[in-house]
């Protein structure tokens, strides 16, 4: 089908224990690619591993993208065990409980920004220099339709994803030839995060598994020519 599916690539996915990250990990592994998955939820990572084809090829470890030190250690271990990833998917993310901005607790606002924006930046900080040594690499920063518009009651989330869009466009101008960073809006998917906003009506939207079929193909087809793009699955 797709020539690029013939070549096994190493893909690092943050937030791989549930939702989009988990579905993408399963789909890419099923296509013969090597998954490096990280998450704060160690038990969920452990339960994911047996579901992947060629279990021994993959590597899962605990990491908290909010912590620069944790991501620094992640990069060190990944290099030691698997080498430089071919593709990185900055997927780890969280959302605030529906609330007007003046009713969102400061701690909750900080968690959204620290995970969605600073977490993405932490991964870029420690992995881009490794990719530069190979003069190649694709980085996908998971954004949102709300990173290109706005919505009531989720202002912290919208702000974080607008920031991811701006961060991506700026970093694209800093990368050497042969590399690319893109912002990817996954679309509206029935995940725990969507349920927190939409309630029961989240079930009307596509599942992470059906989304991953399209997303995996799209991600595998990205090239250096896509650098700086804002894309939608």
Mind listing the pLDDT tens digit for each residue in 56-92? Answer: 899 999 999 999 999 999 999 999 999 999 999 999 9
Q: Which residue has the tokens 């620094």?
A: 72
- pLDDT of 2 strictly over 60: no
Least confident of 24-33, 44-53, 76-85, 99-108: 44-53
3-state secondary structure the chain: CCHHHHCCCEEEEECCCCHHHHHHHHHHHHCCCEEEEEECCHHHHHHHHHHCCCHHHCEEEECCCCCHHHHHHHHHHHHHHCCCCCEEEECCCCCCCCCCHHHCCHHHHHHHHHHHHHHHHHHHHHHHHHHHHHCCEEEEEECCHHHCCCCCCCHHHHHHHHHHHHHHHHHHCCCCCCEEEEEEECCCECCHHHHHHHHHHHHHCECHHHHHHHHHHHHHCCCHHHCCCEEEC
Q: Do residues 124 and 109 touch, judged by C-beta distance below 8 A?
A: no
pLDDT band at 227 (very low <50, low <70, confident <90, very high): very high
Q: Which residues are catalytic?
A: 157
Q: Which of 15, 20, 16 is nearest to 205 (CA)?
A: 20
Per-residue model confidence (pLDDT) at position 6? 64
Per-residue model confidence (pLDDT) at position 43? 85
C-alpha span between 19 and 16 (Å, rounded): 8
Determine the average pLDDT of the residues in 160-166. Answer: 98
C-alpha span between 53 and 26 (Å, rounded): 8
Determine the average pLDDT of the residues in 89-101. Answer: 97
- pLDDT of 29 strictly over 70: yes
Mind listing the pLDDT tens digit for each residue in 112-144? Answer: 999 999 999 999 999 999 999 999 999 999 999
Instruction: Using a pLDDT cut of 90, give the percent of the chain over it.
Output: 83
What is the CA 183 to chain-centroid distance, rounded? 10
Least confident of 93-97, 127-131, 199-203: 199-203
Per-residue model confidence (pLDDT) at position 55? 82
Q: What is the mean pLDDT of the chain?
A: 94
Q: Which residue has the tokens 């989240």?
A: 202
Q: How many residues belong to the chain?
A: 233
């Amino acid at each position: 089908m797709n020539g690029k599916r013939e070549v096994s690539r190493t893909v690092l996915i943050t937030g791989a224990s549930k939702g989009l990250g988990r579905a993408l990990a399963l789909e890419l592994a099923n296509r013969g690619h090597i998954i490096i998955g990280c998450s704060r939820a160690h038990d969920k990572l452990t339960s994911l591993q047996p579901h992947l084809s060629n279990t021994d090829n993959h590597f899962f470890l605990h990491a908290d993208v909010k912590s620069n030190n944790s991501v620094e250690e992640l990069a060190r271990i990944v290099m030691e065990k698997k080498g430089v990833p071919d593709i990185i998917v900055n997927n780890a993310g969280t959302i605030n409980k529906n609330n007007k901005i003046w009713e969102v607790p400061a701690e909750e606002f900080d968690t959204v920004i620290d995970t969605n924006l600073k977490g993405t930046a932490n991964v870029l900080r420690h992995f881009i220099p490794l990719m530069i040594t190979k003069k190649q690499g694709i980085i996908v920063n998971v954004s949102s339709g709300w990173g290109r518009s706005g919505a009531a009651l989720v202002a912290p989330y919208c702000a974080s994803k607008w920031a991811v869009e701006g961060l991506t466009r700026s970093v694209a101008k800093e990368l050497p030839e042969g590399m690319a960073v893109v912002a990817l809006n996954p679309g509206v998917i029935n995940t725990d995060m969507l349920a927190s906003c939409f309630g029961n009506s989240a079930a009307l939207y596509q599942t992470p598994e059906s989304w991953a079929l399209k997303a995996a193909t799209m991600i595998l087809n990205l090239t250096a020519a896509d650098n700086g793009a804002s894309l939608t699955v």
